[in-house]
Structures are given as structure tokens and as C-alpha cells.
Chains A and B, each alone.
Chain A
Amino acid sequence: MLLRYLFLLLVLLPFKAFALIEVDITRGNLSPLPVAISPLSMDEDSKKNFKKILKKENLGSEISAIVENNLKQSGLFNPLNKDAFLQKPDIANLKPRFEDWNLIKAQALVTGKVTFVDEKLRVEFRLWDVLAGKEMMALAFTTVPSNWRRVGHIITDKVYERLTGEKGYFDTRIIYVSEKGPKTNRIKKLAIMDQDGFNNKFLTLGNELVLTPRFSPTNQMVTYLSYFRNLPRVYLLDIETGMQEVVGDFPGMTFAPRFSPDGKKIIMSFAENGNSDIYTMDLENRIVERITDHPSIDTSPSFSPDGKQITFNSDRSKFQQIYIMDSNGKNVKRISFGNGLYGTPVWSPRGDLIAFTKLHKGKFYIGVMRTDGTGERLLTENFYQEAPSWSPNGRVLIFYRETKTNSKGEGFSAKLWSIDLTGYNEKMVETETDASDPSWSSLLSN
């Protein structure tokens, strides 16, 4: 009998001691994170100096407005209204009263200070976890005063990375084709701007037709196609120095030159004897190598981020579909099998997805699929849209969209749009003129 009760005791006691209840939380909300961006504080001397140099009344507020706008545009953050802030910026930067920020439901807080030091702009900022009541990050940047917008973008990148776990995409630029004039006689120039639409510059005069500019993933080089005396030429342009060189003249129709991930090669398609295939060119020795050799039309090649594979579109199965292959042209495999035509595949910088344009029943879609063709998701639908380009973190796509003209041929416009992977955060990117063929740069501060 005693043994029985000893056994019971042994069974029950440990059970009771270690019965820690576990609850699995596998869902959360994807609503934007409420964040408070306090204006960066400034002393009176700094205010005067920056007003003289930059003609800005309060540079601290201007920089915080850039951060706020960037975070809002990302769709992942909800910057709170500044009117609700209870603490002054200078005091908040020293020691935030977390109860006050908690009261307005802020989960994160950005504070900072702008000073004029040795003719330079010094910006320090702090990121606070309001609920935990602790500092998450503190950084300071010193630069020439004219660089103040970039400082705002860099701060946003740091805040974004700290709170989302992935690199930001705000200190970046977008190159695109600026368009002006009637649809039948468009003047197309190469233009570049910050990702938020500011600091727009034209890089060509518009004498020649320019097409498909693409940024190098490693530096600030751009390759694009231009027609010189009706002959397609592939150019390389160094954004920093403005130096431009012709990579080569190619026969027939040449399409969409694009860099390899290491920036040492460009990949493109051109037609020889009426058959379009994919080629690479080594930028050091200018040797051209044929990658595909098929009687069908193979175009729009794009390297995977590790450079081992290439995605392209081809009509070798009668209709235009997306394929992948090894970088030497072997192991060609079709990955898109849906209804409609698939084109302009672009491999994500994260390597997990391929973005594409799809034409089905007269409508154009921008979508993504996994690299094996599964998990196809159409993010946006419109009358005409194409040419998606990834942000450097692989979260957002930029593309262009054209509007329908009326019976008189009026009302045509082409604009840049961005959409994130959720498909909900779709926004028009403001440009001075009509715009097409956008390409997103890598992070400038890398």
C-alpha cells in the first residue's frame, strides 16, 4: 500500500512543480506602428546660422518632417500628430517622460538635436522604446549643411531597421525616363531624383531616345539604352562624376541591359537574324557571351542576387512565360503557368521572389511569385503598367503606369507608382514630368 502512495506522490509532485502554462501566439496585427517623431531641437545660434546658409527657419523641424514623411510612406508606421505631444523637443531629447508619450499611444519615440559645429551640420538622434522606457539607439551625423535632406533619410533608415528588422530604403535614388510632349512625339530624358521625389535632375538633354536605365547593385553606376542615328547603344553612366561611355553597338533590336550582382557584367538581349537571345558582356574586357540559343524570343534577363541563376521571359512554350536557368544557360526551367502573358521578371534583392508584369484579359498586373513559380500574388491591376523595380531591401516595387487616352488621343499620362509586398500600400511617386522605366538604386550610405 505504502508503495502505491509513494508512487502517486512521485507522479503528482513533479507534475505540479513544472506545469508552466504555455500559450502560442501565432498571429499579430499588421497595422502601422504608432511612432512619435519629436521635432529635433536647436539652439538659437544654430538656428541663425542655418537660416543664413540654407534659408530654413527651423532645420530641426524640417529634418524631422522628412523622417515622418518617409516612415508614413512606408505604410509600416503611423507617425502621430505633433499637436498631441506634451513634452518639448529639447527636454524630450534629454530624458523623455514616457508616461506622456504612452498617453498618446506612441510605441516608439524619435528625439534629437541639430547644431552648427565648425561650419558643419551635426545631427544627433535617439530612438526610444516608450513601453519599455529605454533607449534603443543613439547616433550622430556630421556633414555639410546642404546635405540635410540626406541626414533625414539616413535617420529614417536607422529607425526603420531597428524597428522592422530589415534594412531601410530611404537614402536611395531613383533613375527614370522623363517624358514630355504628345504621345506620338515624346521627348525622353534620363532623370534622377531622391526616392521621395526631391532633388530631381536631368542627366541627358533629350536629343536621343533613352530607354531602360538600370542602377548597378554595387555602386552609383547606371546602364541604359539609347538610340544614336537609329542604332541602339548601351551606355554606362557614373552618377557621381557624370562620366559616360558607350559599352557597345549591337545589331538589331537590343533590350534592357541590366547589371550582374557584382556589377562586373551586364546582361541583355539582342536580336540576330530576327531571333532574340540573351547575352552577357564583361565590362572589363568587353567580351560578349551568348547565354541562350533558342529559336524563340528570349528577353528581359535578370540575375539572382547570388549571380548563380538568371530569370527571363520567353515564348518558347508558344505564349510568353517566365523561366529561370543557371547563369551559364543550362537547366532552363519554366516557372510561370498561370493564364495570360508574363514578362519583365526581376529577381528580388532578398532572393526569395521574382516580380513580373502580367497581361491577362486586356489588363496589366504587377505581381510576385516565389523563385520556383509557386505563391503567385498579383499586387496591383490597371489599364497599362509595367517594368517593376525592387527597392534595395526587397520590400517595395516601383513601376510606371499609363492612363487611357480619350477618342481624340488626349489625356495620356505616365506616372511612377510604388507598392509594397502587402499590396495595400500603393502610392504615386511625384515627378516633375511624366515618367516611365524607373530603377531603384542601392543604399547610398552603404
Chain B
Amino acid sequence: MDRNIVISFGLHIMLVIITAMSLPFLSKKPIDLPPIVSVELIQISDKTSIPFAPKAKKIIEKVKEKEKKLVSEQAPPKIVKKQKPDAIPLPDEKIEKIKKIKDKKQNPEKVETEIKQVSEFEKKDLFDPKSIAALIDKSKVESAETSKKLDKVTQDQDKNMDFRGLSLSEEDALKAQIFGCWSIPLGLPYNENLLVRIKLQLKPDGSIIRSEILDHARMNKPGQGFYKVLAESALRAVKLCQPLRVPSTGYERWKELQLNFDAREMLEG
């Protein structure tokens, strides 16, 4: 009897140990989200350059030095001088020519490898189990320590920006530009739905490749004649404003934009 009790007790203890070992895996599951949070933190610190702690400050300085070296290697001044254009380009050709020169400024081979490395690294960073685990662990470490990863994240930044919209200042700049270009047709019935959604495909310089009215079918509906007038005015505004004041970086992020023109607020007074 006593023996049976001992065996039962032993088996129960084993069961508890096994359970204790396997359960943490499940209990960790909800913590899977933090990687995104930690990425956000690094972006902000990069923008504001706030030294979180003396230790972090040192790390940031080191990173900056490293970046400086990288830039000097990528853009040797000699090549720049050689590639100066002989004549002033015509207005239409101007953008393209400048772009070409910029390409030549860089050491093409080197830059390509750099980019390749970064993208591979990013893939690893997002999908490599070890890196993810490292990121989870990071949340436990004090905030100053998180900026250790700054060097890698500055390279990541452009890619990670895909996941969010324009910053407030970027959006404000774009809005302010379009406000000035949009002549609102004053005769519109303000008690109707006066929302026109326009999808734009943009070039890196902010000029428009394609514009599309999303509720196009509404134009031909009976009693919606005003919508055509409104949609045309929005299209005119976009064309008049181009090139749009888009951010100088993160083209992938804003190469497609949706502008929601709503005249109701203005017309209701």
C-alpha cells in the first residue's frame, strides 16, 4: 500500500515536472507581439536622437561613426566631379538626368552588395526564430540597452515604414499643398454625400502616373450629377498640385496613395 502511494506520488511529481516544462512554451505565446513594439521604439529614437542613457549614448555615437565610414566608402568624391553634365538639361529631361547622375555618384557594385546584405539581414531579422527570440528578450532589458540594435534598425527603417502611414508632418505638408489647389465647386448640395475617393499612383518625385476615381459608377447614377462636378474638381486639384509634396524617402510606402476629398465641411460653413 505504502509502495503504491510512493509510486503514485512519484508519478504525479513527474507529471507536474513535465507539465511545468511544456507549459511555458504555451504561456509565452501571447508575448509573440512585442517585436513590433520594439521596432517602433528604435525608429523614434533614430528620429529624435534622444540619448536614453549614458550607455546608449555611447552606442549611438559608435553607430554614427560606423555610418560615416560607410557613406564615405559608397560615395567617392572623384567620380562625382567627372560626371557633371556639360549642358543644362531641358525641363522635361531634368529629373531623369539628375537621377542618372545620382546613380553614377555611387559605387554601383558596392552599393548593390550593401543593399543585398541589408535585405537578407531584414529577412533574417523578421523570420529567423533566434532573432525574434532576441527581440522578445529585449523588452525585458532596460530601454537604454534596446538602442544597441540601432545600427541594424536604421538600415531596416525604410522597410519597416511600410507598415505605417505618413507621419503627421508629412501628411500635413501634403494636405496643405492640396488645400491650395482644390477649388471647391460652391454649388454642391451640402446635405448630400460629398466624398470623392481618388487613388493615385505616384513617381518617386511626386508626379502622378495614374489617377483613378474609386466610386466612378456614382457619376452616372440619377440625381448624382453634382458628384461628377465634385470628382472633376478633385482631379483638377491633384493635377494642378503635381508633383505632390511627398516624403523624400520610403517610396514603397507612398507610391500608391488614396486621397479622400470631402467638401461637406467647407460648404456647410
Contacts and interface: CB of A to CB of B under 8 A. Distances in A.
Interface string A364-397: 0000000000010100000000000000010100
Given A8-B132, A23-B166, A163 B184 contact: no
Interface string A3-42: 0110111001001100111111111111101000000000
8 contacts: A29-B181, A31-B183, A76-B186, A131-B235, A132-B239, A165-B187, A352-B191, A422-B186
Nearest to A105: B240
A293 B136 CA distance: 82
Nearest to B211: A132
A136 B185 CA distance: 15
Interface stretch (B66-74, B102-110, B256-264): B256-264
A27 B239 contact: no
Contacts of A43: none
A25 B32 contact: no
Interface string B179-193: 111111111110100
A25 B183 contact: no
A220 to B, nearest CB: 24
A431 interface: no
Given A20-B256, A22-B258, A166-B226, 7 more contacts: A23-B171, A24-B262, A25-B178, A25-B260, A27-B179, A131-B236, A165-B229
5 residue pairs, one from A and one from B, having the closest CB atoms: A166-B187, A28-B182, A165-B229, A164-B187, A28-B184
Interface size class on chain A is 35 or more
B111 interface: no
A19 B178 CA distance: 22
Interface in A245-300: none
B240 A26 contact: no
Contacts of A25: 175, 178-179, 182, 234, 237, 259-262
B65 interface: no
A436 B195 CA distance: 42
A28 B263 contact: yes
B82 interface: no
B153 interface: no
Contacts of A136: 232
Interface string A163-206: 11111000000000000000000000000000000000000000
B134 to A, nearest CB: 14
B5 interface: no
A29 B260 contact: no
B24 interface: no
Interface of A: 1, 4-5, 7-9, 12, 15-16, 19-31, 33, 76, 107, 129, 131-132, 136, 161-167, 352, 375, 377, 393, 395, 422
A21 B178 CA distance: 16
Contact of B232 (A31, A132, A352, A422): A132
A393 B188 CA distance: 11
A132 B262 contact: no
A165 B226 contact: yes
Contact of A28 (B32, B229, B260, B266): B266
B29 interface: yes
Nearest to A22: B258
Nearest to A167: B187
B187 A393 contact: yes
B162 A16 contact: yes
Interface in B129-147: 129, 132
B266 A1 contact: no
B76 interface: no
A20 B258 contact: yes
Interface in B106-160: 126-127, 129, 132
Contacts of A1: 129
Contact of A165 (B188, B261, B265, B269): B188
B179 A28 contact: yes
B45 to A, nearest CB: 22
Given A107-B183, A132-B232, A164-B186, A26 B265 contact: yes
A253 B188 CA distance: 42
A68 B132 CA distance: 68
Contacts of A24: 175, 260, 262
A24 B132 CA distance: 36
B253 interface: yes
Contact of A23 (B35, B174, B232, B234): B174
